[in-house]
Amino acid sequence: MRWIWAIAMVAVLCLDHHHVRAGDDDSEDDDDHHDSGGSSGGGSSSSGDACEWTAPGTSRTYDLTDMIKEGGPDNDWKAEEDIQGFKFDYYFNICHDSLKGCNNHHTSASQYQIFGGTSAGCIPLGEAWSEKGKEKAEWSEFGKPDTDPKGSGVVLTYRNGQVCSTGGEKFSLAIKIPCGDKVRVPGEKNDGLDPKKFVVEQDSASGCEYTISFPPIADGCPGTGRNSAWGSYFLVFFFLVTSAYIGGGVLFRTKKLGYTGKDALPHLDFWESLPILVMDGVRFTIDEAKVAYEKLQQYRANR
């Protein structure tokens, strides 16, 4: 039962609070959290500061680059959990080190036990992205993206957190991002997402594997990230160019040439004749298609 685990976690965190503060330089933690990492991880097709992944054997690409948090320690993603009065705060980043960290430890995500509104200690849930976290991270999809996109999404899992059990198993955190219509609001706290609306789950067998689920957002849908925004950029560009063309043309023809009313529109004759030209093109295409079809029928009849 989760309330029993919560009581156990209180004891662990109280001990761990002393251990982390007093033992930041111990050799075991140095081995676990301070090795230098590689440049590629978990099947990600990302490079540099990009954070994207294409599902193997598909064209579905998830681009979470815009979800990477930067700045001070208060800018991390945050999820809150309340288990029968036992409060936990989770701080994490996407494809990057946690900005808050865990005391002096680098990590990609951490769990803080909260007593009376203040932190009583923390546990690193995943190795720092800048160390070996990136190469050990795992990507996956859930649901049925082909047939039920809004019931699906992407998962980024951090491994190699602090030692969790006497058997040596370590904490891990899966960040689950469901596909939805809601759009984040960058600049607002937690990008406008209520920390209490995140769902925190814990593996009941070992207690070492955590999952934090975002509310359904557009970032969880394939093809909605930074690299797929070219369509929006094109529409904005087209609107600006069209506005400049019409506005500039009208201004020039009224101020310089003295036209008024619809005569002030630039290239009026062309735009008035455009529907006729389009219809001519459509009729020509239909006629040519009919001729081609008749020839095909004759060819088949003579075979």
pLDDT of residue 40: 34
Q: Is the pTM of this model over 0.85?
A: no
Q: What confidence tens digit (pLDDT) does each residue in 221-247 have?
A: 998 555 445 566 778 888 899 999 999
What three-state secondary structure class fits 270? helix
Read off the tokens for 95: 């494809």
Cβ atoms of 106 and 35 closer than 8 Å: no
Burial of 5-19, coded b for 16+ CB within 10 Å and e otherwise, reads: ebeebeebbeebbeb
Q: Residue 95: name the closest of 143, 139, 54, 35 by CA.
A: 139
What's the burial of 191, exposed, middle or buried (CB within 10 Å: 0-12/13-18/19+)? middle
pLDDT at 113: 87
Sites in the chain below the pLDDT cut of 50: 1-47, 227-228
| Token pair 């160390």 in the structure block, residue | 131
The predicted structure's pLDDT at residue 52:
93
Residue 97: alpha-carbon gap to chain centroid:
16
